[in-house]
Chains A and B, each alone.
Chain A
Amino acid sequence: MVMQQLSGWGRTAWTVADVVHSTDPGQIAHTLQTVGERGAIARGLGRSYGAAAQNAGGVVLELTSEHDPLGIDAILDPITGTLDVASSVSLDSILRMCVPRGWFVPVTPGTRFVTVGGAIASDVHGKNHHFDGSFGQHVSSLTLMLSSGEIVELSPHSRPDWFWATVGGMGLTGVILRATISMLPIESSKVRVETERLPHFDAVCEAMSTEGDDGDYRYSVCWVDLLATGSSMGRGVLTRGDHAKRSDVSDDEPLAYDPRLRISAPGWVPNGLLNKWSIKAFNEAWFRKAPSKRHVGMESIPAFFHPLDGVNKWNRLYGSQGFIQYQFIVPLNRTDVLRKVIETFSAAGVASFLAVLKRMGPQNPAPMSFPTEGWTLTLDIAAGIKGLAELLSRVDAMVLDAGGRHYLAKDSHVSPSAVRRGYPRLEEWMNVQHQMDISGMWRSDLARRLGLIDSRRNS
Chain B
Amino acid sequence: MKNGVGVAQNIVLFGGTSEIGQAILDKVVKPGVSRLVLVSRDIDTSTSMTQKIAEAHPDIDIHHVRFDAGDAASLSHVVSEVVSEIGDIDVAIIAQGLLNEGVDNYANPEALIEMANVNFTGTMVLMYALAARMKSQGYGKIVLLSSVAGARVRKANAAYGATKAGIDGFALALDHDLQGTGVSVLVVRPGFVTTKMTQGMKKAPFSTDPQSVADLTAKAIASNKTVVWAPGILQWMFLVLKALPQSVWRRLPL
Return the chain B residue nearest A381 by Cβ: B5
Return the chain A residue nearest B31 by Cβ: A393
| CA A445 to CA B136, docked complex, whole Å | 14
Given contacts A56-B137, A56-B139, A389-B31, contact A324 B59 (CB under 8 A): no
- With an 8 A cutoff between CB atoms, is B200 at the interface? no
Query: Which of A8-16, A26-34, A283-291, A361-369 contacts the other chain?
Result: A8-16
> Count of B residues near A, CB < 8 Å?
26
Q: Beta-carbon contacts of B1-20 to A below 8 Å, as 1s and 0s?
A: 11111110100000000000
Contacting residues, chain A, for B137 (C-beta < 8 A): 15, 38, 56-57
- With an 8 A cutoff between CB atoms, is B76 at the interface? no
Distance (Å) between the CB of B137 and the closest chain A CB?
Answer: 5
B4–A50 touching, CB < 8 Å = yes
Q: Which residues of chain B from 127 to 181 have any CB-CB distance to chain A below 8 Å in the complex?
A: 135-139, 180-181
Return the chain B residue nearest A389 by Cβ: B30
- With an 8 A cutoff between CB atoms, is A3 at the interface? yes
Contacting residues, chain A, for B232 (C-beta < 8 A): none
Q: Beta-carbon contacts of B198-233 to A below 8 Å, as 1s and 0s?
A: 000000000000000000000000111000000000
Return the chain B residue nearest A16 by Cβ: B182
Contacting residues, chain B, for A412 (C-beta < 8 A): 3-5
A5–B32 touching, CB < 8 Å = no
> Count of A residues near B, CB < 8 Å?
39
Return the chain A residue nearest B139 by Cβ: A15
State the majority secondary structure of interface residues on A: loop
- With an 8 A cutoff between CB atoms, is A192 at the interface? no
A449–B138 touching, CB < 8 Å = no
| CA A8 to CA B7, docked complex, whole Å | 16
Distance (Å) between the CB of B49 and the closest chain A CB?
Answer: 22
- With an 8 A cutoff between CB atoms, is A126 at the interface? no
Distance (Å) between the CB of B221 and the closest chain A CB?
Answer: 13
| CA A370 to CA B178, docked complex, whole Å | 39
Residue among B32, B87, B224 making CB contact with A415, cutoff 8 Å: B32
B138–A390 touching, CB < 8 Å = no
| CA A180 to CA B30, docked complex, whole Å | 45
B4–A57 touching, CB < 8 Å = no
A458–B32 touching, CB < 8 Å = no
Q: What are 18 of the A-B contact pairs (CB < 8 Å)?
A: A5-B180, A5-B182, A13-B3, A51-B1, A56-B1, A56-B88, A56-B137, A320-B224, A322-B4, A324-B4, A388-B5, A389-B3, A389-B30, A393-B31, A415-B59, A445-B1, A448-B88, A449-B9
Beyond the given A16-B182, A389-B7, A393-B31, could you list 4 further A-B residue pairs with CB under 8 A, ordered by the A residue number? Answer: A10-B4, A14-B182, A412-B5, A449-B3
